[in-house]
C-alpha cells in the first residue's frame, strides 16, 4: 500500500512541477522597431502618443519576456539615415545594455519598419510646385523605392526573419497620390521578399482614427488598429 502511495505522491509532484514550469517559463522575444515618426506614434499635433509599437509590445509582453528596441527610430529619420545606421553599426544603450543595430537585426524575432515619408516630403518640397504631374510623382516614388530596396538588401544581410512594412495613411491632400504610389510599391516589394505589408490606409478608413481631416498621422485609436492588424498576422 505504501508503495502505491509513493507512486501517487510522485505523480502529483511531477504534475505540479510541470504546471509551474508551463505558467512561469516565459520565452524571451526581441522586438526591433525601425523607422520614422509613424514608428514613434506621432499624432496630428506633432506630439508623440501611444503608437502601434507600444500596443504591439504590450501584447507581446503578456505571455513573454519582451525586449523592445526602438532607439533606431526618430521623427526625422529617412531611408539614407537608417541605411547609414546599419552601415556604421550604430550602438545604443537600453536598460544599461549596449545594442548595436547589426546584432539587433540578427537576434530580433520580430522587426517592423516604417520609412520613406520624410524622403517623400523632402522630394516634393524641392520641386517648388504645388501640383505634380503623374510622371513627376512616379519619378519621385521610383527614386525613393530604389533607395528603400537598397536599405532592405542591407537588412537582409543580417536577418531572414519576416519584416513587417507599415504603410502610410493616404489622407493628406498634398501627399495623397505620392503616398498611394509609395504604398503600392512597398506592397509589390513583399511579393519577392520575406516581408508583410500592413496596409495602414485600408485599415484607417474612418474619421475617428485621425484628429483632423488632413493629417499625415493617426491618433491613438488609429495606432491601436494598426497594432491589432500586426497582432492578428503574428498569431497566424
pLDDT, tens digit, 9 for 90 and up, residues 160-169 = 999 999 999 9
Report the range of poorest mean pLDDT among 30-39, 59-68, 141-150: 59-68
- The C-alpha torsion from 90 through 95 and 96 to 99, rounded to 10°, is -20
- Percent share of the chain, pLDDT over 70: 89
Residue 113, in any domain of the structure: yes
User: What is the three-class DSSP state of 20?
Assistant: helix
Tens digits of residue pLDDT in 90-146: 998 777 778 899 999 999 999 999 999 999 999 999 999 999 999 999 999 999 999
pTM of the model: 0.87
Q: What is the CATH number of the domain that holds 199?
A: 3.40.50.1110
Among 5-9, 52-56, 77-81, name the one with the lowest average pLDDT.
5-9
In a domain, 15, yes or no: no
Specify the 3-state DSSP secondary structure of 133: coil
Q: Is residue 124 situated within a structural domain?
A: yes
Task: Answer whether residue 12 is part of any domain.
Answer: no
DSSP single-letter state for residue 208: G
Residue 17 maps to a domain = no
The whole-number pLDDT of residue 63 equals 87
Taking the alpha carbons at both ends of the chain, their separation in whole angstroms is 50
Altogether, the residues listed in the chain come to a count of: 236
Residue 195: which domain range?
27-235
Q: Is residue 64 part of a domain?
A: yes
More confident: 7 or 196: 196
What is the number of domains present in the chain? Answer: 1
Q: Which three cell numbers stand for residue 231?
A: 497582432
Query: Could you give the CA distance from residue 160 to residue 43 in angstroms, rounded to a whole number?
Result: 32
Domain assignment present for 7: no
Residue 8 — pLDDT band, cuts 50, 70, 90? low
> In the β-sheet with 110-114, what is the strand arrangement from edge to edge?
64-73, 27-35, 110-114, 163-166, 195-198
Does position 7 have pLDDT exceeding 70, yes or no?
no
In a domain, 202, yes or no: yes
Region for residue 85 given its phi and psi (left: phi exceeds 0; alpha: psi -120 to 50; beta: otherwise): alpha
Amino acid at each position: 500500500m505504501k508503495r502505491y502511495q509513493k507512486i501517487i505522491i510522485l505523480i502529483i509532484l511531477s504534475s505540479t512541477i510541470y504546471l509551474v514550469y508551463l505558467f512561469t517559463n516565459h520565452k524571451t522575444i526581441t522586438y526591433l522597431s525601425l523607422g520614422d515618426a509613424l514608428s514613434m506614434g506621432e499624432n496630428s499635433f506633432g506630439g508623440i502618443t501611444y503608437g502601434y509599437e507600444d500596443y504591439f509590445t504590450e501584447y507581446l509582453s503578456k505571455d513573454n519576456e519582451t525586449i523592445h528596441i526602438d532607439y533606431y527610430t526618430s521623427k526625422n529619420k529617412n531611408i539614407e539615415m537608417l541605411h547609414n545606421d546599419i552601415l556604421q553599426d550604430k550602438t545604443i544603450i537600453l536598460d544599461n545594455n549596449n545594442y548595436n543595430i547589426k546584432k539587433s537585426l540578427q537576434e530580433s524575432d520580430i522587426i517592423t519598419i516604417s520609412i520613406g515619408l520624410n524622403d517623400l516630403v523632402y522630394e516634393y518640397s524641392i520641386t517648388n510646385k504645388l501640383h505634380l504631374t503623374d510622371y513627376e510623382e512616379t519619378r519621385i516614388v521610383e527614386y525613393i523605392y530604389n533607395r528603400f530596396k537598397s536599405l532592405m538588401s542591407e537588412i537582409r544581410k543580417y536577418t531572414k526573419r519576416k519584416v513587417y512594412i507599415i504603410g502610410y495613411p493616404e489622407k493628406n491632400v498634398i501627399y495623397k497620390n505620392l503616398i498611394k504610389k509609395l504604398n503600392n510599391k512597398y506592397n509589390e516589394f513583399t511579393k519577392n521578399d520575406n516581408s508583410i505589408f500592413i496596409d495602414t490606409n485600408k485599415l484607417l478608413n474612418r474619421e475617428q482614427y485621425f484628429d483632423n481631416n488632413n493629417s499625415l498621422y493617426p491618433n491613438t485609436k488609429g495606432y491601436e488598429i494598426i497594432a491589432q492588424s500586426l497582432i492578428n498576422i503574428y498569431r497566424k
